[in-house]
Chains A and B, each alone.
Chain A
Amino acid sequence: MAELTRRRFLQTSAGIAGAAAGLTTLGALRSGRLPSGLGLAGQPEVAAPASVMAYVRASSTGEVRLMVGERSVTVQDPELVRRLVKAAG
């Protein structure tokens, strides 16, 4: 996270993850993993929640945990992880 403040990282991550969550049904969030490589296009749109936090524990796994409200879901999405890591510098 060098050269990037934690706040900016979280704001950036939340923005990206929020966009992703906006394309994902809450039902899908509740249900757990998406198949690896499965795009989010084609999912019906829902209103974005107030805030979403994205947590990438190990980018090599291609997994990102999204936390929204009192729920979390682990999404298998290497492309999303790649974009988050890139945004984090």
Chain B
Amino acid sequence: MSSHREAPGISKDPVADNTDLYAFVSPDQPGTVTLIANWIPLEGPDGGPNFFEFGDDVLYEIQVDNDADAEPDVTFQFRFTTMVVDPNTFLYNTGPITSLDSSTWNRRQLYSVTRVTDAGNTVLGTGLSCPPCNIGPRSTPDYAALAQAAVHSLGDGIQVFAGQRREGFYVDLGAVFDLADLRPFQNLHVIPTPAAPGVDATSSVNVHSIAIQVPKQLLCRDGSMPGDPTSPASTIGVWASASRRMASVLSSDSPAEQTGPWVQVSRLGNPLINEAVIPMGRKDLWNSLPPSADAQFLSYVQHPELAGLLPVLYPGVFPHLAGLTAPRADLVAILMTGIPAGIVPGFQNFTGSRIADMLRLNMAVPPAASPNPLGLIGGDAAGFPNGRRVADDVFTIELRAIAGVTYPLVSPSYVPDAAASLVTDGLTPGAGRYIAQFPYLGVPLDGFDVPG
């Protein structure tokens, strides 16, 4: 949850709260790209009797820019409809749910997928079933099979899934929000305590995912199969958003009614931007805007607050970072423009000088045989910030980048502090977080075995 509860407004609207976005060349289907957008942060697996679900009144979108103008060229829209089989019971299910059409499943969701391009809108699928939430051995006895049945083929090589999955992002939330504590190094903190292993705050929670796997040609600007990493046409920019209708009328004698145009209430491209870069007073504004409006936020990337805090919170550990006052062109490249050719040998995901927070993926870079969770700074060009894979350690990558480890890419004379390449919250994702095939995020934890 790299963007969970990250702004005052959206923290009160979890159904519309974008939490993570992934975009990567599918390791088992390298002719396709998988896009995964998550919503609803910190789902306790035992959160019944009304278990978590998507919002019928929310427009969920995954948007792709393929011609470097930070405007959407291919948008996938998802709309949900909740169905209640028997309104006269309080139960989510009245017996074991053994299939997606089990009569014992009382509250279920269907959804539609629409592709929007300049050529118009194409409905790719309707009446698609979400799986139920993973309740426990009596209610959802073979959950993995149930969820796999909810992977739908939409034709043209596209497949889609929408429903509960296990949280894939791992981070020590309790420490980092306690004055940027990093437990393995907290003995060096200005308020020191003995060093300790990191605590994975998201190891026991679920999330709701929309995952869509798409042949690369359907995303590429010229409809070709990207094969040349140096070609500008090989790179796409991706972001996800959630929108609500402009007005809502509540009534005690009729169902709530929404009307007016859709208004964006949440957005996510690169991880941790609105969470840790954009200041409090502008977070809600940021969530309401498209990436094409991001130039106004450039100074927060050029001079990130956290880069100024690290030398203060860890006295004597970051002397070089403390003296680095120039605009952070390295962070601007990583997060806002893509990395131009000539910076990292053999790699680029540059989309031009337009400032825009998008997750940029060079689709011509093949999947790594042995992925490094540190991605590009770990020598693995198939990982973040070239897109983002489900297991990429984006917290550590961005922390080290902000700490200065990437600044020599644009200023070779700069010598990073020794700590810059070591800082981490000290976590690895552990078992069960991911699966090897679509939708790649692991089977959600069940509420019987994992109380929230």
- A61 to chain B: which residues have CB within 8 Å? none
Residues 29-88 of A contacting B (Cβ, < 8 Å): 51-53, 55, 67-72
Instruction: Compute the total of residue contacts between A and B using a CB distance below 8 Å.
Output: 27
Bound Cα distance from A52 to B260, whole angstroms = 9
Query: Which of B112-120, B201-209, B243-251, B280-288 lies at the interface?
Result: B243-251
The reply to whether B249 and A53 contact each other, CB–CB distance below 8 Å, is: yes
- A7 to chain B: which residues have CB within 8 Å? 251
Which of B249, B257, B260 is within 8 Å of A70, CB to CB? B260
Confirm or deny: A10 has a beta carbon within 8 angstroms of a beta carbon on chain B: yes
Which of B249, B251, B259, B262 is within 8 Å of A68, CB to CB? B259
Chain B nearest Cβ from A11, distance in angstroms: 10
- B255 to chain A: which residues have CB within 8 Å? none
The reply to whether B262 and A70 contact each other, CB–CB distance below 8 Å, is: yes
Q: Do A53 and B251 contact each other (CB < 8 Å), given the known contacts A67-B246, A72-B246?
A: no
The reply to whether B251 and A67 contact each other, CB–CB distance below 8 Å, is: no
Confirm or deny: B261 has a beta carbon within 8 angstroms of a beta carbon on chain A: yes
Which of B249, B251, B260 is within 8 Å of A72, CB to CB? B260
B252 to A, closest residue via Cβ:
A7
Bound Cα distance from A49 to B356, whole angstroms = 39
The reply to whether A67 and B260 contact each other, CB–CB distance below 8 Å, is: yes
- B247 to chain A: which residues have CB within 8 Å? 53, 55, 67
- A70 to chain B: which residues have CB within 8 Å? 245, 260-262
Chain A nearest Cβ from B197, distance in angstroms: 51
Bound Cα distance from A53 to B258, whole angstroms = 10
Bound Cα distance from A67 to B259, whole angstroms = 6
Chain A nearest Cβ from B282, distance in angstroms: 22
A68 to B, closest residue via Cβ:
B259
Chain A nearest Cβ from B74, distance in angstroms: 21
- A71 to chain B: which residues have CB within 8 Å? 260-261
Bound Cα distance from A72 to B245, whole angstroms = 11
Chain A nearest Cβ from B39, distance in angstroms: 21
The reply to whether A51 and B260 contact each other, CB–CB distance below 8 Å, is: no
- A69 to chain B: which residues have CB within 8 Å? 259
- A52 to chain B: which residues have CB within 8 Å? 259
Bound Cα distance from A10 to B251, whole angstroms = 10
Which of A10, A55, A72 is within 8 Å of B261, CB to CB? A72
- A68 to chain B: which residues have CB within 8 Å? 259-260
- A55 to chain B: which residues have CB within 8 Å? 247
- B259 to chain A: which residues have CB within 8 Å? 51-53, 67-69
Chain B nearest Cβ from A12, distance in angstroms: 13
Chain A nearest Cβ from B256, distance in angstroms: 12
Chain B nearest Cβ from A70, distance in angstroms: 5
Bound Cα distance from A71 to B262, whole angstroms = 8
Bound Cα distance from A7 to B249, whole angstroms = 8
Bound Cα distance from A72 to B262, whole angstroms = 10
- A67 to chain B: which residues have CB within 8 Å? 246-247, 259-261
B interface residues, Cβ below 8 angstroms from A: 245-247, 249, 251, 257, 259-262
A interface residues, Cβ below 8 angstroms from B: 7, 10, 51-53, 55, 67-72
**Can you spell out 24 A-B residue pairs with CB atoms less than 8 angstroms apart?**
A7-B251, A10-B249, A51-B257, A51-B259, A52-B259, A53-B247, A53-B249, A53-B259, A53-B260, A55-B247, A67-B246, A67-B260, A68-B259, A68-B260, A69-B259, A70-B245, A70-B260, A70-B261, A70-B262, A71-B260, A71-B261, A72-B246, A72-B260, A72-B261
Closest 3 CB pairs of A and B: A67-B260, A67-B259, A72-B260
